[in-house]
Structure 1
Amino acid sequence: MMRISETVKHLLLINVIMFIGTLAIGEGILFYDWFAMHFPGNESFKPWQIITHMFMHGGWSHLFFNMFALWMFGSPVEQVLGSKKFLFIYFSAGLGAVAMQVGYYYFQYLPIYDSLVSSGLSGNEIIQMLSTNKVIEGTTQAQVAELQNIFPIYNASMVGASGCLMGIMAAFGMMNPNAELMLIFLPIPIKAKYFIPGIIALDLISGISGQSIFGYGNVAHFAHVGGAITGAIIMWYWKKTQFNRNRWY
């Protein structure tokens, strides 16, 4: 069995502790309010959530698969790059994931919000209805339909290390392009240089279509794409400017 590297070991421990805290404090509700990443336009958003959501998970299976990926891909990446560069990719990918997912949310949210303002609603009225899920008197059916379109965005929250891990997976794939990987439900060995771009492409298709290809709901697909792109850009830059052609260290 591959040895767990030190930084990966610490990240595993932090994620598990945070998950236990979610179960133990306020039946998870308080922990999610404090540390999950909320839509920035929502009053529940706090700046620290940009980082803390990376250590939150929505259930045992979510935690298990993310931590398994952290061990599987994180340890070999850290062993080659060292802890500082590993952490730089990890958190940069997490930030890239947030930026792309929130950017996509705003791409959907702002045109509808502006349309509602143009139709006669004030900003305060819009936020009040989105926050309480109660329609104020005088709101038209057309306005209600538009409010329903942005209600899930305004009340969206993000949790999980998936964005960070997609960046680490991208780094692993660039370092080990011929390593053979397999999906649990598709036990066919595929080289990393095909496997990881394929996973990114599936996330992109799912994000654009709004339908998860693997049937899982409530997945921040654009966060996955943002994390992977960030990790790949960092590794490309490091290879170009700091390393020779034959090694990553």
Structure 2
Amino acid sequence: MQRGKGMKFVGDSRIKAEGKMPNVPKDYSEYPGKTEAFWPNFLLKEWMIGAIFLIGYLIITVAHPSPLERQADPTDTMYIPVPDWYFLFMYQLLKYEFASGPYNVIGAIVIPGLAIGALMLVPFMDTSKERRPFKRPLPTAFMLLAFAAIFYLTYESVANHDWEKAKAQGAIVEEVQFDKESEAYQLYTGAPGASCIGCHGDAFQGGLGPSLVNTGLTSEEIIDIVHNGLNDMPGGQWKGTEEELQVLADFLENLK
């Protein structure tokens, strides 16, 4: 055989065809934008951004700590809890006629389940590699609809909630010392003042109604409010005698 003739080239899979760095992927030109290695290039950038946001969040929590309410009282059935701001849209949804009461399952499970299920199916319904939103109308429309619904329901919840009353019912009130066996307290919690404890609490701390501690009112003013009402409190709620009301009014005047 003559030299240089009949020579064959044999490929070896153990030898790399290109001498690129191990962490640099091929340039996939069909995908827009610059490509880079996931480890460590991309992941390092993600960690750096995450660390910046985490530090910023920690600074905000130290500078503006979360406000606390009074100690939870399981016997207080008049307290109306309100979720955090990111769940206010769900809180508002449960106020509507066909999402509350006997239809509570629809508002709490069916509607959120359909919405989340639709968002989860969007990637399978639109498999386009296009990144521009106006080129992907289906997922863009779903996301805009979800954002609009969440924004509207959150706004309605904030606008229609009585935040002053919520602040009053959750306010931390210094506990007052009193004798639960006294005649005045028995009148307050008994039949003559049966509706008092429901609004003003079992320890006069307040709830739907204001706190009765350190009111600065005289016994005469308290009696007048009981008879004629004040603000949201209706008059004519006292079921006892005038002598019993005087005992309770004297007790509340000195409740400090």
* Higher helix content, 1 or 2: 1
Q: Determine if the TM-score, normalized by the shorter chain, exceeds 0.5.
A: no
The structure that has the greater radius of gyration is 2
- Greater RCO (Cα-Cα under 8 Å, separation 6 or more): 1
Which TM-score band (shorter chain)?
under 0.3
How does the TM-score come out when normalised to structure 1? 0.24
**Could you tell me the TM-score, scaled by structure 2's length?**
0.23
